[in-house]
Amino acid sequence: MNEFDLSTSVQKQKDPSQGGFANKSGRVLEAAVISLFTQHGFQELPFRTWSKSPQSYGEDILIRDVPYTSIYGHNGKTEFLAHSTRLSLTVRIECKWQQSSGSVDEKFPYLYLNCIFAMPEDFIIIVLDGGGAKPSAVSWLKNAAATRHLIPDDMPQKKILVFALAEFMIWANLALR
């Protein structure tokens, strides 16, 4: 028998769980966001580091794992908060990757309500990709954001945008110059 039997080697490998695969795929989406911002001169760092000494960092920062209190009163985290003094820009960025059918799209109403009522920033971008979300769920979320569905009249400054990754890249390349 051959010292290295590929079929045996492959059989011995553990099949990754769907959750593990989704997490890895989501990290790829997050890496794309980080790359876009760092290519435009933003410094990227975790919230726990930034929060110890916010004044120590430059005028263009991309902060990871930014906490907020959800509409249920629980601790939540957003993937990113971008802040640029130079561009007069503060935007919270939520990343959602769904490559196959699953439950991410069922959470869109919860995400949307958190964007309105729990996330303190006036400008929030949701980046959706992977091609696995139900088209009707994506349409609902995009329509809700575009029509300001459920956003109270006393929050005229609240702006929520929903993009696929390619659309987000176009936005970033224009907004971050």
Both structure tokens of 51: 């929060």
> Is a pLDDT exceeding 50 seen at residue 13?
no
Hey, where are the domains in the chain?
Answer: 15-175
> What tens digit of pLDDT does each residue of 136-167 get?
999 999 999 999 999 999 999 999 999 999 99
Q: Which pLDDT belongs to residue 103?
A: 84
112: Cα separation from own chain's centroid: 13
> Is a pLDDT exceeding 50 seen at residue 169?
yes
> What tens digit of pLDDT does each residue of 75-128 get?
999 999 999 999 999 999 999 999 888 888 899 999 999 999 999 999 999 999
Candidates 3.40.50.150, 3.30.1050.10, 3.40.1350.10, 3.10.450.40; correct CATH number of 15-175? 3.40.1350.10
Task: Tell me the whole-structure pTM to 2 decimals.
Answer: 0.86
Q: Is 166 left (phi over 0), alpha (psi -120 to 50) or beta?
A: alpha
Q: Which pLDDT belongs to residue 17?
A: 53
Both structure tokens of 177: 């110059």
